[in-house]
Amino acid sequence: MKTTVSILFAIVILYATTSFSQSTQLFAEIGNLKLVNGSKIENCVIGYRTFGKLNNDSSNAIIFPTWFEGTTNEVGRLIQKYTFLDTTKYFIIAIDALGNGVSSSPSNYNVYKIKSFPEITIRDMVNSQYVLLQNILN
C-alpha cells in the first residue's frame, strides 16, 4: 500500500511539474515597433507563454491571442482546467496583446512619463505578434 501511494504521489508531482513548467510567463524584446499611425513603441516587449511541445516540422503550433483585457495567465488556467486544447498533441503559443498590462502598455511603458504611450490598433497588436513569431520564436 505504501508503495502504491508513493508511485501515485510521484505521478502527480511529475504531471504537475510538466504542466506548470510550460506555462511560465516569458517576455520577448522585439525592438522598436512601427505603428499604423506612423508613431512607434520604443523597446517594445511582448509577453507570451507556451504549452505543449513543438514537433519536428512545426506543424502542431496553435496561436492563442488574448481577449480584451485578458492575459496569458488566464489562457493557461483555461487550458489546464478545461483541457479544450490537447497539449500532448499541440504546441500552443499564447500571446499577451499590446496594452493589456503585460506586454508594452500605458501602465508599464515609461515609468518616468517622458513619453506617453501611443495609440494602438488591433492591426498593431497583430503586427507585434507577427514580429514575435517571425523574429524571436522562429
Boundaries of every domain in the chain: 2-136
For the chain, the average pLDDT equals 85
How do residues 1-60 score in pLDDT, each as one tens digit? 666 544 444 444 444 444 444 589 999 999 999 999 999 999 999 999 999 999 999 999
CA distance 11 to 103: 35
pLDDT at 15: 47
The residues, ordered by sequence, that sit 6+ positions from 5 with a Cβ below 8 Å of its Cβ are none
CA distance 21 to 24: 6
Q: Which fold has domain 2-136?
A: Rossmann fold (3.40.50)
Residue 93 near residue 79, CB atoms below 8 Å? no
Residue 47, φ and ψ in degrees, nearest 5: -90, 145
Burial label for 79, CB within 10 Å (0-12, 13-18, 19+), is buried
Calculate the alpha carbon distances from 127 to 18, 21, 23, 97, 132 in Å.
31, 28, 23, 10, 9
